[in-house]
Amino acid sequence: MKIKVERTGGIAAMTRVWTVDARTDSDLSQWQPILEACPWDAVPSTPRAAAAAFEAPQPDRFIYSITAGQRRAALPEQALTGPWRILVDTARAASEQSAGAFRPGPDDDAEAGSPS
């Protein structure tokens, strides 16, 4: 299962991506409780929906877009708390490129409705 965290916004407005490929049974069993703890159904699933749902964005804060298998969530930084924060911090630490890959410019594939 691929876990992907994409971070956009911020004053520097650089897109960064952390990816984890949880392949072994051991990996998956470590990730399961982290993923299960997150209320996927209770939050928006795209950055556009997140922007609409959270009324007063704080200027220059990040926006996080999280994908884990078929599940997706999008949250402004100030809402990245509790289990979401644990998920993101764990993904960042576990990512192959722990500094995160920079993506030159925002990625809109998710907005076009294409399957992940």
Return residues touching another protein (CB under 8 A). 8-15, 46-48, 51, 56-63, 65, 78, 99, 102-108, 111
DSSP calls for 13-81: T-EEEEEEE--SHHHHHHHHHHHHTS-GGGS-SSHHHHHHHSSSPPTT-EEEEEEETTEEEEEEGGG--
Query: Phi, psi (5° rounding) for residue 60?
Result: 70, 15
Nearest approach in angstroms of CB 29 to another protein is 28
Nearest approach in angstroms of CB 58 to another protein is 5
In the bound state with another protein, the residue whose beta carbon lies nearer, of 35 and 75, is: 75
Residue 68 to residue 2: CA distance in whole angstroms:
6
In the bound state with another protein, the residue whose beta carbon lies nearer, of 33 and 105, is: 105
Nearest approach in angstroms of CB 67 to another protein is 14
In the bound state with another protein, the residue whose beta carbon lies nearer, of 28 and 52, is: 52
Nearest approach in angstroms of CB 13 to another protein is 3
